[in-house]
Every structure is written in structure tokens, then in C-alpha cells.
Amino acid sequence: MKRIGILTSGGDAPGMNAAIRSVVRSGLSQGIEVFGIYDGYQGLVEDKIRQLDRGDVSDIIIQGGTVLGSARLEEFKLLEIRQKAIENLKKHEIEGLVVIGGDGSYRGALALHEMGVPCIGVPATIDNDIASTEYSIGFDTALNTVIDNVDKLRDTSSSHHRCSVIEVMGNRCGDLAIYAGITTGAELIITKETGYDEMEVLERLQHIEESKKKRHAMVIISEKITDVELLAEKISRHTNFSGRSTVLGHIQRGGSPTARDRILATQFGDRAVQLLLNDVSGQCVAVNHGEIVSIDLPEALKIPRRSRKDLFELHERLV
């Protein structure tokens, strides 16, 4: 293998740049050329491809987002679109591909692999919703962004006898909510796994206010579960707290990556290059029992989501 390509796909995540840098530098130091493909699979189809050297990735390890850009391309499931992509790879004599993204990006990589293009997936999503890995790039940064902001809401909540309802990202996977809830000492955590019963939420908050003499309370809730503004209004009406809602939204995607995301991304990127150099294809890298491993993509895509039952029980003991 003499030339490999790299692209980022799907929602961006802090640490993608660290992974890009790692792929480029690791490739170059092992004698292969690395090509950046801009704007994900779309750029692959539209031939937005250009060679990257050492200097192109200098200092990007500290930047959020992705210097390669990202996009979603529904049409990539069409054979003729993928054939166009493969033509572009051939034109540049690119023999292997590193795809940084989530499960959707993995499906594209698997399809290319099945058409004969060596592909390795690298997991990156802020909400940790890739079941094949314990941690994906971006989760640690997003989680720290959430707790920084929740810590700020705590200041103002306790000044006003308030219950703050904070909506965080992650619908398929509630990890941001459960980890943020435990690390900020939130009173209630609501995710797809816990289910949502409005009456029960209001009763528990009223109980907390009465029994624990709390000056403030916090509810962390995953996106797309309920309208948090309405929930806050009901809290004001039905409990002694004054309810206020905050939707953290896209700020969870940004920021300079944390140490953990930088190191994980660096290790993943390097491992992806090693795999391609060892003629492995159709796999993704992952953290399993705390170690960097690789898994066949079809298997990875079938792994069921982890339950966080143990963490919810931990939260119940401490709240």
C-alpha cells in the first residue's frame, strides 16, 4: 500500500482533527502518502481530494471540528454513486481508506470494502452512540462541556430556588445524560432507557423539595424525549421550585478536545494505519475492556447497545 485516503463523515466531534493528524503523520512516517478527502463521502464522489503533508496537520490537535469538513450523503447507498467514488480513488491511486464517523459512516465503509476498497472505520460521535466501542472520539469533550455549563447553571439556580431542566444531546444513546447526571449531582436523569413519566417527575421533584430542603434541583434529560420548555412550566406550576429549561444544543459539538479525546483519537488513527498496512480491511477500531482493538464491521454493526442499569443504580444510591 502506497497511498491512503482519509475522510470525516456525519456529525463532527472534537478530536476528529487529532485522528486526522495521527493518520497523516503515522502514514508518512511509515512511507505512505496520505490524501485528505473533503466533506465526507460527498467529497469522495465529487473528487474533492488533495494530498496532505506534515505541515497541513500541524497544531490541529488542539482544534475542535474537522479541518476536512463533514457532510451526510444519503445517496451513498446507491451503487452507481459508490462506483463514482471508487473511480475517484483509482484516479488518485488511493489504495485504502480511513473513515472517521459513526455507524452510518461505517455502513458506507462496509459497502466500499465489499466492492474491494480496503476500509477501516474510526469511531467519533459526541453522544457515544456507537455500540461497538466503549468510548468514541468526542464524548469526553462533550461531557466536560455539559458539566461546565451545568456547574454554571447551579450558581444561578441556587440563587433563585430554581429547578433547572437541561437537555443534552443523545437520543439513541443516553450516555451524555447519565454521565452528566452523576458527575454534576443532578437530582433526576431521564433517558430513553429510563423512560419518561411526567407525573412521576413532578412528584419526585416536589418530594425532593419538601424532604431534602434543597434550594435548587437539576434534571438532565436526553434530547427528543419531551419539550423541556413545557416541562419547566409544569415544574413551576406543580412544585415549589421555579422551573427553567436550557437546551445545550450545538455547543456540545465544539471546543478544543480534552486530553482523553486527543489521546484516544491519536491511538485510533495510528491503529487504523497499521491495520491498512497489514492488509486488513472491513474493520473498525474500538475500545474494548479499556484496550484498543479492531472488529469486523458487520459484527460491529450488530452489537446491541449497552444498558446503563448499573450507572442508574449508582445514581439512585447517591442522589
User: Which listed residue (127, 129, 140, 270) is catalytic?
Assistant: 127
Question: Which residue has cell 485528505?
Answer: 36
Which ranges constitute the DSSP H helices of the chain? 16-29, 40-45, 79-91, 103-114, 139-159, 175-184, 198-212, 228-238, 259-277, 297-302, 309-318
| DSSP label at residue 61 | G
CB of 86 to its own copies, least distance (A): 25
* Choice between 46 and 114, CB closer to its own copies: 46
- Segment interacting with its own copies, rule: CB under 8 A, options 75-83, 84-92, 190-198, 263-271: 263-271
Site for its own copies, residues 84 to 123, rule: CB under 8 A: none
Backbone CA torsion sign across 140, 141, 146, 152: positive
**Residues of span 184-213 touching its own copies by CB under 8 A:** 184-185, 212
Distances (CA, A) of 299 to 74, 295, 302: 23, 7, 5
Give first-to-last CA distance, the chain, whole Å: 54
Q: Which of the stretches 77-85, 91-99, 142-150, 199-207 binds its own copies when contact is defined by CB under 8 A?
A: 142-150
Quote the CA–CA distance of 74 and 121 in Å, as a whole number: 18
Q: How far is the CB of 190 from its own copies (least distance, A)?
A: 19
3-state secondary structure string across 226-294: CCHHHHHHHHHHHCCCEEEEEECHHHHHCCCCCHHHHHHHHHHHHHHHHHHHCCCCCEEEEEECCEEEE
Residue 14 or 123: which CB sits closer to its own copies? 14
Task: Give the count of beta carbons closer than 10 Å to the beta carbon of residue 281.
Answer: 21
Query: Strands 33-37 and 96-101: what pairing?
Result: unpaired
Residues 229-248 that bind its own copies (CB under 8 A): 244-247
Answer yes or no whether residue 308 interacts with its own copies by CB under 8 A.
no
Q: Which stretch binds its own copies (CB under 8 A): 90-98, 174-182, 199-207, 277-285?
A: 174-182
Give the residue, chosen from 9, 125, 136, 164, that forms a contact with its own copies under the rule CB under 8 A. Answer: 164
> How far is residue 209's CA from residue 217's CA, in Å, rounded to a whole number?
8
CB of 306 to its own copies, least distance (A): 13
Q: Does 81 contact its own copies by CB under 8 A?
A: no
Q: Which is nearer to its own copies, 129 or 187 (CB)?
A: 187
162-168: strand order across its sheet: 188-190, 217-222, 162-168, 242-247
Q: Which stretch binds its own copies (CB under 8 A): 45-53, 114-122, 139-147, 190-198?
A: 139-147
296 is catalytic: no
Q: Which residue from 53, 75, 87, 151 is in contact with its own copies, where contact means CB under 8 A?
A: 151
User: Computed over its alpha carbons, how large is the radius of gyration of the chain?
Assistant: 22
Q: With respect to its own copies, which residue has the nearer C-beta, 115 or 314?
A: 314
Whole-Å CA distances, 168 to 122, 147, 153, 198: 24, 10, 14, 18
Q: By CB under 8 A, tell whether 58 contacts its own copies.
A: yes
Residues 4-43 touching its own copies, rule: CB under 8 A, are: 8, 12, 14, 16, 18, 21-22, 25-26, 29-30
Choose, by CB under 8 A, the member of 182, 190, 217, 221 that binds its own copies: 182
Using CB under 8 A as the binding rule, whether residue 51 contacts its own copies is answered as: no
CB of 100 to its own copies, least distance (A): 12
Q: Where in the sequence numbering do the catalytic residues fall?
A: 127
